[in-house]
Every structure is written in C-alpha cells, then in structure tokens.
Chain A
Amino acid sequence: MSIEKIICIKVMMKVITYAANEIAKFNEDYRKKLEGLSDIIEWKVGKDLNFYTEIKDGKISSGEGIKQNPTLTFEINDLDLALKLLTGRENFENLGEKAKIIGDEKKREKFSFILDTIKEYLGDLTT
C-alpha cells in the first residue's frame, strides 16, 4: 500500500472528525441532528487499516483500532476509493459493490448528513 495514501487516509479521518465537531459549534440544525445519535461506525480500509468513529452526546470522536459492537462497518479495499469518499469526491450512495457494508444499511442514511454537511462547507477545498 502506498505510504502517501495511508498518510492521507489517516489525516482525513482526523480532519473529518475535527470538521464535524467544528460545524456543530455554529450550525444549530446540524448540532441538533448530531445530538440525536449514539453510534459507532467502523472503517476497515485496505489490508490492515482500522478506524472507528463514535458519535455520542453531540460529539464525534475517532481513532485507529477497533471498537466493540459497531452500528455499521464499512470495508473498503481500494485506498483510492477510500480517499475519494473521505474527500467528498465519491458518494456512499454510489458505492455498489465497491465497498462492503456490514450492518443495517438503512442506518447509513442516518449518518449521511454529517459528510454531506462537511462537504457543503469544504466542497471546493478538496474537490
């Protein structure tokens, strides 16, 4: 796996978490939606990159490694695809068979507003 892509994925996971929390400070509608969630999303990227995103009490935290009992797990083998998703250049709705989703896929719709809102604020920064 390309070290550059691995670095970018690690950085973007942190960036999305930070951006998501920052937006909650000034976007009331978004903050209210976030406060209604209590979930763990697991990310398995490439051969051995594992991340988690936890949404709890209106805040988002993330880290490397595995958390127990995730609400949803995304398995994305292709690092380029992972980067496109994390930078908003590809949508989760269009994944099809390119990624494996373990868990109730309808729950993905619950979280989609987070990345959609981040993309709204950052769209022309990384696209």
Chain B
Amino acid sequence: MDGVSDDLVGAYLAELRAKLHVPAAELVLAEAEDHLRESVAAGLAIGMTEAAAQEAAISAFGPVRAVVRAHRRTRLQLAGDLVLAAWKLGWTGMFAIAGSGLVALAMDHLLGRRFVGQAPPGYSFPAAKCQYWLSTWPSAHTCAEAAMLENSSDAVSLRVFGGAVGGLVLLAGYLVARAIWRRRAVPALPGGFFPAAAVAVFGLGAVVLALITLTGSQIGVPTGPGAYLSGALVALAVAAAYAPAARRALRAPR
C-alpha cells in the first residue's frame, strides 16, 4: 500500500476541509489534526497497529458530518446575538448623544454660543417661532439672537438629558436581555464583531457629521457648525475607542 492510502487521518481531514465552512477553518483543521495524531500516538503506545490506531482515533473523533454540524451556529443563536449587538449599539449611541451635548456646552463656553446655535445668515424664521423664542429669551434683541440662544440651549439640554435617560433605559433592558439570552445560548458571533460594528457605525457617523459641518448643510432646525461638529467629534471618539479591540480581533488567529 502507498503512504497516501495508509493515511486514514489525512483522508478524514481532507473530507473535513471540504465540508467545513466556518471562519478560520484552517485553524479548526489544525486543531483537529493535532487531536487525531495525538490519539493515534496513544493507540500505538498501547500496542495497536497503525491502521487500527488511526481508525480508533477517527471513530472517537466522530463522523465528519457530526463535527461539521457541531461547528455550525444556529440561525436563532446568530439572530439573538445580532439583536443584542444592535441593542448595545443603541445605548452606546444614546450615551454618545449625551456626550455630544457636553461637547456642545464646552463649545458654548470656549467659542461662544453662536458657534453651536447661530443659523446661517439671511435665514428667516416663522413668525410664531420668533414670538415663542423671544418670550423664552427676553434678553434677546432679535429673533435670530433668540433662535441662536434656543438652539445652543437645546443642543446641550436635549442631548444630555435625552441621551442619558434613553441610554440608561436601553442599557437596563440590554443587561436583562443579555442575562436571559446567555442562560440559553453561548455567543454565536465572533468576539470582535461588536467592536468592528461600532467602528463602522460610529466612524461612518463621524464622517457624515463632519461633511455636514464642512459643507454648511442643514438638517432640520438651522444651527451653527458646532451642532454637527460636536456630534462628529464624539462619534469619532467612540470609533477610536473601539478600534484597538476591532484590530486585535481581525488580526488574532482563530
């Protein structure tokens, strides 16, 4: 017999390689080969023939279809983990919004409230809004000034309060949901999934908000560049915070 047909473990691993479609399959196969070869060595040590030791090792390891099935994550496990990841992105985002409110407050103090709250020159506001804002800000002399004070105040108070409360509610729900889910299923997503998703989502958010700032575009209530820049800076900070974990996960062999 030639060496190739004698190597039952080699043939088993070749079949496993052909059928195993998982991330880092080569590392899974390396682990399987190490196990099988050590099992063969143990069989030889107790007096088995080479062929008998290989057959016993393969039999104990399990049929290829059973091993492939064991490596396959169920759709339910993946769906549950994706929901948890989205939920985590949600509360992270809410706290980031609260953080951007604090950045807007710092901008108010360092750069003046116009930087955050001032509408573009020449913009005219509806009369009803002007009436409301002037009554809210009696120190304002013009509608534009009252609008600026209102916008810069909202950029701080609404974001900080709304972001903090929303973040806490989502976080509480997330912790409960995760505790319940983890009792039923171990993680089905790779460990680096959430850091990579956070880098992508918050990185994209930072880019979009930065572009809005640079082009002077307006979305919703007209405000100063600081309104979007404060968001861009916080989004960038969150993406940067997760970047090392995402890079480690992408580099690490599995």
Task: Say whether A associates with B.
Answer: no
